[in-house]
Chains A and B, each alone.
Chain A
Amino acid sequence: MAIELEDTREPVVDDQEGPKASPFSPSELLRLDEALTMSSRETGLRFTLYIGDLPADTRAGAEELHARSGGDPAESVLIAIAPDQRVLEIVTGSAAARRLPDRACALAVLTMTGRFGSGDLVGGIVNGLRQLSDQAGHPAAHRPRH
């Protein structure tokens, strides 16, 4: 005699916001957007921010993302954050790396991970961006005017 098995599985996400909802509130998005835009405008570099899962080899995954980040990859800086893996990767292009040496990036990483560890994602990102753009400086100081 067959026993009717009830489907007792629960939906993976029973949260009303759903998995596709933005992880940030509008005011947090505003802060992120202002930080990204202002640091990109001040430095002439192109800062993009990725938040999501990275492959097991996080460095290779972040470098692949950097290659696809649009614009001129040489001048772009990718900040990749994997909250589940608790990994932060900063990838600089060839032109950006001249103005943002690895030591400066490591310092920004330290600032950001310190904030992330206490649960402040947005604060860490904003401070890290500020630090990176301070280090990179203004493009006029680095590029001769044509």
Chain B
Amino acid sequence: MTVVETLLVFLVAPLAVVLLAYALVMLPTLKSRKRYKPGEPWGHGAVWYEPHRPGGGGHGAGHGADHDEHPALGKQAAALAIGETAGHPRRTAAGGARGTW
């Protein structure tokens, strides 16, 4: 076994294996979008999410056989602009809480 072969087998090959494992582990993290960190600017527009309507009417809590148990992702991830109507003059808030972080 020459010196070059020894180096290849005992140095380069293990290094390649380690690097491959590292890449496999780190690649999904690198690809994913940036996480929110407190104190950093948010940098996204305002979004307003609302729940899906219950199966039937507004008070239909008893509708057991809802067809949308597992709806498609497109339906699920719907960000809706629900603040479009003209502003109500009356105050609707009755309570709540406030917090900072």
Residues of chain A touching chain B, judged by Cβ–Cβ distance below 8 Å, are 13, 15, 17, 19-23, 25-26, 29-30, 32-34, 36-37, 39-41, 44, 46-53, 58-59, 62-74, 78, 83-84, 86-94, 96-97, 100-102, 105-106, 108-110, 112-114, 116-119, 121, 138-140
Contact = CB atoms under 8 A, between A and B. Distances in A.
Interface of B: 32-33, 35-39, 41-52, 54, 58-59, 61, 73, 76-79, 82-83, 85, 87-88, 90-101
Contacts of B47: 22-23, 50-52
Nearest to B32: A25
A20 B96 CA distance: 30
Taking chain B's interface residues, is the majority helix, strand, or loop, or is none over half, making it mixed? loop
B91 to A, nearest CB: 6
B46 A53 contact: yes
B50 to A, nearest CB: 5
A26 B74 CA distance: 9
Contact of B92 (A93, A112, A114): A93
